[in-house]
Amino acid sequence: MTNANPESQPATPEATTHSNFLRDQIAEDVRTKKYGDAVVQTRFPPEPNGYLHIGHAKAICIDFGLADEFGGKTNLRFDDTNPEKEETEYVESIKTDVRWLGFDWDRLCYASDYFGQLYEWALKLVKAGNAYVDDLTADEIRQHRGTLTEPGTDSPFRNRTIEENLDLFVRMKNGEFPDGSRVLRAKIEMASPNLNMRDPVMYRILHATHHRTGDEWCIYPMYDFAHGQSDSIEHVTHSMCTLEFADHQPLYRWYIEQLGIFPSQQIEFDRLNLTYTLLSKRKLLQLVQEKRVNAWDDPRMPTLSGLRRRGFTPEAIRAFCGAIGASRTNGSTDVEMLEHFQRDDLNHRARRAMAVLHPLKLVIDNYPEGKEEFVEVANNPEAPSAGTRQVPFSRELFIEHDDFREVPPPKYYRLSPGKEVRLRNAYFVTAKSVVKDAAGNVIEVHCTYDPLSRGGNSPDGRKVKSTMHWVSAAHAISAEIRLYDKLFTKADPYDLEEGQDVLDNLNPNSVEVLTGAELEPSLASAKREDRFQFERVGYFCLDPDSAAGKLVFNRTLALKDSWAKIEKKAGA
Ligand code: ATP
Ligand code: MG
């Protein structure tokens, strides 16, 4: 891989070996030398009007991944032709996210770099009689466009002379006319069955300050008059985009042919749709603006920055993108599949630690008061090279509230009066009695331990049915824990009742904050990039809200893997 960061190899081989029609097409073009000896050139073309989401990760993996495979190159190009919606903050976040995902671009480009060239090309089309200035309003243009079943009708300005069109277009550019008063349109065919070919708008007047070109321009090219030509300028051989652009392909080709420029070709693939997830920058922006989430990088967001903060890794996201591949029809992917890839990755890399989220005091009556000892614990049983650590043990511990029942239901094998269990890596203990508060809640459990069971090993072949995690009370550090759930309540957030908005399907309980968790002391030195499996609880990482003496951990995922079950049921 030349583009990918060497530290971040795909977590599973599927990431590079999965076959798809895009690869087949590129292979064919290389074989037939469609572009001579030119290298395979792709681009990833985000509009800087929001943060990247997991759907963009799919496009990035396709654009960079396929170029890589063929020894080609990929440009990062900002499609910045909408000055009103674009910001430098978004440009910076996009660069960060592409790099984080493990890719590095060949050239960093901006459609706005080509405004001069695009204007020259527009003049060329005007001079050839292939473009005209139209004074109809946006509404009138829409009315003249016709429908899928009815042809459009010509604008009364369609047959202006070339001289008049030239004069008006230059004056549009010079700022002589107000916003919306005129547009430049390609003169193609108002009866075309493809609506995109019915004299599409090429330029609009917009006296807006652009994040890069400032006030230099007051006319801006439309997407269709910018994208293909930008591809052509960069000698993009394979311009891969999502299926909604398929209808634009004839126009993409028309401009390139009329201008006689480098013949970039557009190929479409399916958009990623994930269950319980909204993938639209416009809607995600609304979530941020309306403060339904805290920010673009809120760990519940499907943005790359949100997933990163939540503890997802680039390796897992790439492996997932490799596994879903690309197709020619849109579908929907279970979010559990993404989670499955993430768990698989974390299972191999996450350091194990003990953390008690809902602490209940456990006192070992026959353990000497004031005594402290250390038990040796493997950092990751899946990776012996991760080594071991010493965890302090003492007379008073915290266990999970859920791990004790005064009156155990059938098949409850954890701690209850008279029952013996194993404290992981430490000792066997048997519950003896409880202390309750005035309301009758158990606030302390008393037990005895078997000193011969040190290390959690049975002293005499005696079996226990349960192994529980624990934290020594005297050594524990407290932390805030944030547990996340799905952001939407419906698998398809767009499954709406009459008059509802997609945001009505937001899950009101998508985050639960626990303030009294008790953690083993080694977690005091946790760093942002560390990944943990809190034993029996889930995968966690440190949140940037943490400060000295105030640790905050995010739950990346719970341990259970519902995808593995789904796969098993499906007989996969
Ligand atoms: P959104 O609707 O979220 O704003 P977009 O398509 O407008 O997405 P762009 O910034 O224009 O976003 O997209 C950059 C590239 O990413 C395009 O090639 C686009 O096709 C691709 N892309 C965007 N969303 C998805 C998705 N859900 N799945 C796959 N590719 C996507
Ligand atoms: Mg867009």
pLDDT in tens, 247-290: 999 999 999 999 999 999 999 999 999 999 999 999 999 999 99
**Cα of 544 from ligand 2 centre, angstroms:** 30
Positive or negative: CA dihedral 15, 19, 20, 24? positive
Rg (Cα) of the chain, in Å, rounded? 30
- Does residue 7 register a pLDDT over 60? no
Residues with Cβ within 8 Å of 151's Cβ and at least 6 positions away in sequence, in order, are 190, 191
* Residue among 26, 4, 20, 22 nearest 70 (CA): 26
pLDDT value of residue 8: 41
The answer, yes or no, to whether residue 561 has pLDDT greater than 90, is no
Confidence of residue 9 (pLDDT cuts 50, 70, 90): very low
Please state the atom number of ligand 1 nearest to the C-alpha of residue 242: 20
Residue entry with tokens 């008690």: 356
Which two three-digit tokens encode residue 119?
């204007």
Could you report the per-residue pLDDT of 488-509, keeping only the tens digit for each? 999 999 999 999 999 999 999 9
What's the pLDDT at 1?
34
Q: Which ligand is nearest to the CA of 281?
A: 1
> How far does the chain reach from its first CA to its final CA, in angstroms?
30
Q: How confident is the model at residue 18 (pLDDT cuts 50, 70, 90)?
A: low
For the cut 80, the answer to whether the pLDDT of residue 181 exceeds it is yes
Query: For residue 57, how far is its CA from the centre of ligand 2 (angstroms)?
Result: 15
Note the pLDDT of residue 549. 86
pLDDT mean over 163-176: 98
Which tokens sit at 121?
A: 């090309």
With the most atoms of ligand 1 within 8 angstroms of its CB, the residue from 242, 249, 252 to mutate is 242
User: Is the model's pLDDT at 2 over the cut of 50?
Assistant: no
Q: What is the pTM of this model?
A: 0.93
Is residue 478's pLDDT more than 50?
Answer: yes
Q: List, by residue number, the catalytic residues.
A: 47, 271, 281
What per-residue confidence (pLDDT) applies to 548?
86
Write out the residues surrounding ion ligand 2, Cβ under 5 A. 47
Residue 411, by phi and psi: left (phi above 0), alpha (psi -120 to 50) or beta? left
For 508, counting Cβ atoms within 10 Å of its Cβ (0-12 exposed, 13-18 middle, 19+ buried), the class is exposed
Q: What is the pLDDT of residues 253-262, one digit of tens each?
A: 999 999 999 9
Nearest CA to ligand 1 atom 13: 46
State pLDDT tens for residues 45-88: 999 999 999 999 999 999 999 999 999 999 999 999 999 888 89
Q: Is 290 exposed, middle or buried (0-12, 13-18, 19+ CB in 10 A)?
A: exposed
pLDDT single digits (tens) 355-404:
999 999 999 999 999 999 999 999 999 899 999 999 999 999 999 999 99
Query: What is the structure's pLDDT at 242?
Result: 97
Domains with residue ranges and CATH for the chain = 6-111+225-341 (3.40.50.620), 116-221 (3.90.800.10), 353-567 (2.40.240.10)
Distance 47 CA to ligand 2 centre (A): 6
